[in-house]
Amino acid sequence: MDPANHGASAVQPIRWHGDSVEFLDQRLLPRELSYVTCRNADEVARAIRDMVVRGAPAIGCAAAFGVVLDHGSPHSYEVLAASRPTAVNLFWALGRMRAAKDLRAEAEKIFAEDLAANRRMGDLGAELIPERARVMTHCNAGALATAGYGTALGVIRSSKSKHISVIASETRPYLQGARLTAWEMVQEGIPVTLITDNMAGHLMSRGEVDVVVVGADRIAANGDTANKIGTYPLAVLASRHGIPFYVAAPSSTFDLDIASGRDIPIEERPEAEVLGYRETRWAPDGVKVRNPAFDVTPAGLITAIVCEKGIARPPTRESIAALLR
Ligand code: MRU
């Protein structure tokens, strides 16, 4: 078996073959399981931009393989860096590739390290999850969004023996919760209940949520965390209701060059994603649209950040610096 594929969990979002890389086409899930093959950096960049492969650690791994496929050409770095702006894992992976002597070995290492980090985060994070907890999560921070196992869903997977259940928010407009998280949990045999995003406050107010666990796309030095749009309101609601709000992310998601969340670049995605879904359009012509793909949750609303190196509780400039040292 190829080393980059060794030890991955049942869901394999990325399959590396040395002269090509395959991505499980996440646009089609859960209706259809098919792979898109990329043979150069342009094709990998397109797959990232078009959401064939998505999730912060997964796009970092994808970019690393894209560089290998183009033998480290300056063009490969340029086109991959321009694919999506928010998840810092992409730029972190490109930085590692730039510094590497053996590109293929480095990309395979990035992949293997991500998988190991997720398993470690799962073990650490599971200690925060009570027996029989009803765990709310947002977007998809699962095996699909990483090299395998997942960050937030890794914590959830590692808590399976505690008889937990999951509440997955749909995650408008791209439906990563409804399509991807719900699918992963069904595959895993973890009870999962799907809600639309606007139902979270109601469930929390009725005492039906014990803990919230989400992933991250970029964490500033002070702990402010960019994640899928809709994460911030969940954190506000969790705070209002005294519910612990945890972020699970590998060290590759921290950006210590950015002092606070204000400076995190937020991707704006196409209008069409808000005007309708796939072939169906429900909004009238002439309406204006906003489609920021991420929001920033201030560190003060985050109970703890779990990473493979430990737990920053509460996340502050100091606790994060100590964790990543
Ligand atoms: O736009 P996406 O689907 O790439 O956004 C993904 C998220 O926001 C995830 O929560 C984040 O990348 C963490 S994935 C382990």
Residues comprising the chain, all counted: 325
What's the domain count of the chain?
Answer: 2
Phi and psi based region of residue 227 (left: phi greater than 0; alpha: psi -120 to 50; beta: remaining): beta
Question: Looking at the structure, do residues 101 and 78 belong to the same domain, yes or no?
Answer: yes
169 phi/psi in degrees, rounded to 5: -85, 140
Give the residue numbers spanning the domain of 312: 121-324
Assign residue 204 the CATH number of its domain: 3.40.50.10470
Q: Are 195 and 301 in the same domain?
A: yes
CA–CA gap between residue 56 and residue 39 (Å, rounded): 21
Last residue of a domain, one of 53, 84, 117: 117
Considering the domain architecture, whether residues 274 and 153 belong to the same structural domain is answered as yes
pLDDT of residue 9: 53
95 with 144, same domain: the answer is no
Same domain? For 71 and 172 the reply is: no
Q: Which residues line ligand 1 (CB under 6 A)?
A: 54-57, 87, 139, 141, 145-146, 151, 176, 215-217, 227-228, 293
Distance between CA atoms of 152 and 57, rounded to whole angstroms? 12
Which neighbouring-strand residues pair with 292?
268
CA dihedral sign, ordered 271, 150, 212, 255: negative
Q: Model confidence over 151-172: pLDDT tens digits? A: 999 999 999 999 999 999 999 9
Q: Supply the pLDDT for residue 188.
A: 96
- 164 and 108 belong to one structural domain: no
The per-residue pLDDT for 271 is: 96
> Ligand 1, residues 217, 225, 269, 308: which to mutate, most atoms within 8 A of Cβ?
217
Which residues in the chain land under pLDDT 70?
1-9
Do 93 and 149 share a domain, yes or no? Answer: no
Question: Is there a single domain that holds both residue 106 and residue 232?
Answer: no
Of 99, 117, 135, the position where a domain reaches its end is 117
Residues 156 and 302 in one domain: yes
Which numbered atom of ligand 1 lies nearest the CA of 146? 15
Report the C-alpha gap between 12 and 9 in whole angstroms. 7
Whether residue 176 is found in the same domain as residue 288: yes
Q: What atom of ligand 1 comes closest to residue 138's alpha carbon?
A: 10
Interstrand relation of 35-38 and 225-228 (parallel, antiparallel or unpaired): unpaired
Residue 263 a catalytic site member: no
Q: Are residues 87 and 204 in the same domain?
A: no
The DSSP bridge partners found for residue 44 are: none
On whether both 109 and 188 belong to a single domain, the answer is no
Last residue of a domain, one of 94, 117, 140: 117
Q: Looking at ligand 1, which atom is closest to the CA of residue 293? A: 1
Query: Which pLDDT does position 5 carry in this prediction?
Result: 43
CATH number of domain containing 21: 1.20.120.420
